[in-house]
């Protein structure tokens, strides 16, 4: 009755059907917009995973980013996660410290894939000469993953333990990894061909430039190397981590 009075007063009486159609379409558009906002909001994601081999210093770096003093850490089979606030940003990032064990790493990483924004890949610069191949394989797997490219993940390679004497710096580590990934590209491609008669069936994502040695600068993703010491120098009781470059990089993730 009230609606009819309203329509009479606005001269729209007799147009009830048209008005209902307009209202219905409006509501439908509203629902579609709401669903789209939810999906796109989720796909933006704010998770940053700390990945790396066991003992590279992921957990200590994670604790340091949380403002912690030096702590003795233990290998874990469960991830740690926390909210990490950025200056001038309302929404915090979710930092996830992913255990280094390969099998556990894969299952936990898969759990966070859909909300990933960036990866912090921690490298033990001291043990790097013995671990070059394993670190290269980890980066290779990450760069061949569709999700990495689809989500245009930002990647930070942290060359940790720079407080120790005689460690390799980021320039050397980067060059060695480029050479190792170049070699891996050849062996992996040959392996795929021998398994299923050609790389087309389950071809991983190609990265870098074709017919050219692999170089990080050829990637279409933002990938940066930094030196870091999650431990810092001096006694355990008083050492403060040198992690500013990691913090600066995180602060630039918007
Ligand atoms: N010297 C030195 N030791 C570190 C540094 N970061 C971590 N560690 C040590 O390396 C070991 C493994 O660290 P942890 O954070 O547990 O490694 P994760 O297995 O990658 O989580 C621990 O004994 C840490 O104290 C660093 O920057 N310098
Ligand atoms: Mg750990």
CATH number of the domain enclosing 94: 3.40.50.300
Say which ligand is closest to the CA of 131.
1
Instruction: Say how far apart CA 164 and CA 158 lie, in whole Å.
Output: 15
Instruction: Say how far apart CA 60 and CA 71 lie, in whole Å.
Output: 7
Q: Tell me, what's the pLDDT at 43?
A: 53
203 with 235, same domain: the answer is yes
CB-count burial class (<10 Å; 0-12, 13-18, 19+) for 168: buried
Q: Tell me, what's the pLDDT at 224?
A: 98
161 with 246, same domain: the answer is yes
6 with 89, same domain: the answer is no
The structure's pTM equals 0.82
11 with 97, same domain: the answer is no
Instruction: Say how far apart CA 205 and CA 149 lie, in whole Å.
Output: 8
145 with 188, same domain: the answer is yes
203 with 130, same domain: the answer is yes
| Cα angle for residues 123, 128, 129 (degrees, 5° grid) | 165
Consecutive 10-residue averages of pLDDT for the chain (254 residues): 66 77 89 71 78 97 95 91 91 94 87 94 98 97 92 96 96 98 89 59 75 95 97 94 97 89
Per-residue H/E/C for 120-174: EEEEECCCHHHHHHHHHHHHHHHHCCHHHHHCCCEEEEEEECCCCCCCCCHHHHH
Residue with tokens 């006694």: 235
17 with 62, same domain: the answer is no
162 with 240, same domain: the answer is yes
Nearest CA to ligand 1 atom 2: 161
175 with 134, same domain: the answer is yes
Q: Tell me, what's the pLDDT at 65?
A: 97
34 with 92, same domain: the answer is no
Distance (Å) from CA 97 to ligand 2 centroid: 7
Number of domains in the chain: 2
19 with 142, same domain: the answer is no
Task: State phi, psi for 163 to the nearest 5 degrees.
Answer: -75, -20
> Using a 6 Å CB cutoff, which residues line ligand 1?
52, 54-60, 73, 75, 100, 160-161, 163-164, 229-231
Ligand 1: nearest atom to the Cα of 54:
19
Q: Tell me, what's the pLDDT at 75?
A: 87
Nearest CA to ligand 1 atom 19: 55
Closest to 45 measured CA to CA, from 102, 103, 111: 111
Q: Tell me, what's the pLDDT at 106?
A: 87
Q: Tell me, what's the pLDDT at 108?
A: 87
141 with 22, same domain: the answer is no
Distance (Å) from CA 59 to ligand 1 centroid: 7
Q: Which domain holds residue 32?
A: 2-39
């Amino acid at each position: 009755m009230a609606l009819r009075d309203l329509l009479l007063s606005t001269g729209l009486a007799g147009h009830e059907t048209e008005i209902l159609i307009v209202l219905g379409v409006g509501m439908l558009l509203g629902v579609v917009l709401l669903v789209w906002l939810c999906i796109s909001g989720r796909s933006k994601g704010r998770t940053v995973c700390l990945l790396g081999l066991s003992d590279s210093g992921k957990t200590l770096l994670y604790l340091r980013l949380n403002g912690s003093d030096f702590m003795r850490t233990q290998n874990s089979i469960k991830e740690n996660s926390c909210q990490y606030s950025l200056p001038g940003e309302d929404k915090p990032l979710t930092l996830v410290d992913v255990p280094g064990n390969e099998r556990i790493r894969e299952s936990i990483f898969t759990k966070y894939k859909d909300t990933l924004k960036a990866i912090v890949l921690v490298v033990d610069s001291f043990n790097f000469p013995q671990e070059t191949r394993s670190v290269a394989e980890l980066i290779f797997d990450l760069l061949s993953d569709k999700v990495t490219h689809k989500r245009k993940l930002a990647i930070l390679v942290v060359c940790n333990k720079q407080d120790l004497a005689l460690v390799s710096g980021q320039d050397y580590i980067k060059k060695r990894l480029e050479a190792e990934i170049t070699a891996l590209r050849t062996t992996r491609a040959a392996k795929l061909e021998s398994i299923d008669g050609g790389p087309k069936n389950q071809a991983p994502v190609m990265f870098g430039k074709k017919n050219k040695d692999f170089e990080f600068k050829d990637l279409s993703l933002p990938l940066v190397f930094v030196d870091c010491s999650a431990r810092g120098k001096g006694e355990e009781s008083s050492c403060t981590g040198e992690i500013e470059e990691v913090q600066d990089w995180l602060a630039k993730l918007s």
